[in-house]
């Protein structure tokens, strides 16, 4: 993204922040007692070059942030859900396709279930034993999936959401997460998109309306606090 575009967005956000805060927006939902990490579409079709869904800043920002978060979640034995997207029937002329109508807008037909290399989670942040791999069919990780029930059964009240894209699947997951009663945290450095400015705009708007945008560093400190509290309770 050009410096000129970034400065223009920052100026717009500064003015919008004044309006929002004057009307009671940008309140804090805050961190809860037990978090889960929801990683949205950080699969090869989105993280590796040469695909229609390939996003920017994967190697230099998103993957390092995800690796740090995964290390902490695994250290404290907290739930991790890796979310990806694929389809059994990618024939656009088949009225019974599991793509629904989404293929009329974007090329989801390229992510065929028969080609697991595309929808497999990036090997640099691949799931380990005990972590969930959830396949979704729509933008939100909650829509038509078992995610909400799994989180509630695990006693989760807070979701740290990462992945791509800020303007679609990440945003929809955060909106639905809040609607389903979870404290929603968007991890700033671990969220990406394909379009310049899309991340900045969507994170600004999410922070105003649907969740708290927090840095990776802040989230790691929170996870250390949760881990320490769990250890103290176990020792008591």
160: Cβ contacts below 8 Å, ≥ 6 apart:
35, 36, 37, 38, 69, 185, 187, 219
pLDDT at 212: 98
Q: What are phi and psi of 43, to 5 degrees?
A: -105, 170
Does residue 15 lie in a domain region?
Answer: no
Tell me which of 151 and 19 has the higher pLDDT.
151
| pLDDT of 2 higher than 90 | no
CA 112 to chain centre: 21
21 has a pLDDT exceeding 60:
yes
Spatial strand order of the sheet with 212-214 comes to: 132-136, 80-85, 35-40, 158-164, 183-192, 212-214
| Residue with token string 């920052």 | 10
Q: Say if 122 falls within a structural domain.
A: yes
Number of domains composing the chain: 1
Active site (catalytic) residues: 169
**10, part of any domain:** no
Pairing state of beta strands 132-136 and 80-85?
parallel
Assigned domain for 136 exists = yes
- What percent of the chain lies above the pLDDT cut of 90? 88
Residue span of the structural domain in which 141 resides: 32-231
| Residue 80 located in a structural domain | yes
- Whether 180 contacts 158, CB under 8 Å: no
Give which of 125, 100, 99 is closest to 46, Cα–Cα. Answer: 125
| CATH (domain of 62) | 3.40.50.850
Average pLDDT over residues 32-40: 98
Domain-located, residue 9: no
User: 7: which DSSP letter?
Assistant: H
Structure tokens that stand for 50 in this block: 């040469």
Looking at residue 5, its pLDDT comes to 76
User: What is the rounded CA–CA span in Å between residue 214 and residue 186?
Assistant: 6
C-beta separation of 189 from 215 below 8 A: yes
Task: Please tell me whether the overall predicted TM-score, pTM, comes out greater than 0.75 for this model.
Answer: yes
Residue 8 falls within a domain, yes or no? Answer: no
Report if residue 139 sits inside a domain: yes
């Amino acid at each position: 993204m050009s410096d000129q575009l970034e400065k223009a967005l920052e100026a717009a956000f500064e003015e919008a922040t004044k309006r929002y805060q004057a009307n009671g927006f940008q309140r804090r939902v805050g961190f809860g007692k037990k978090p889960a990490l929801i990683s949205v579409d950080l699969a090869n079709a989105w993280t590796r070059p040469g695909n229609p869904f390939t996003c920017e800043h994967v190697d230099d920002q998103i993957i390092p942030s995800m690796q740090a978060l995964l290390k902490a979640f695994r250290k404290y034995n907290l739930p991790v859900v890796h979310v990806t997207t694929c389809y059994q029937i990618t024939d656009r002329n088949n009225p019974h396709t599991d793509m629904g109508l989404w293929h009329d807008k974007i090329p989801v037909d390229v992510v065929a279930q028969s080609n697991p290399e595309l929808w497999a989670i990036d090997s640099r942040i691949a799931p380990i034993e005990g972590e969930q791999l959830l396949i979704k069919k729509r933008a939100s990780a909650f829509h038509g999936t078992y995610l909400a029930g799994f989180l509630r059964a695990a006693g989760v009240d807070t979701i740290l959401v990462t992945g791509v894209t800020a303007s679609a699947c990440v945003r929809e997951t955060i909106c639905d997460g809040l609607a389903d009663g979870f404290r929603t945290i968007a991890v700033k450095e671990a969220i990406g998109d394909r379009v310049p400015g899309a991340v900045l705009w969507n994170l600004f708007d999410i922070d105003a309306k649907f969740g708290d945008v927090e840095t990776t560093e802040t989230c790691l400190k929170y996870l250390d606090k949760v881990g320490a509290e769990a250890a103290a309770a176990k020792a008591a």
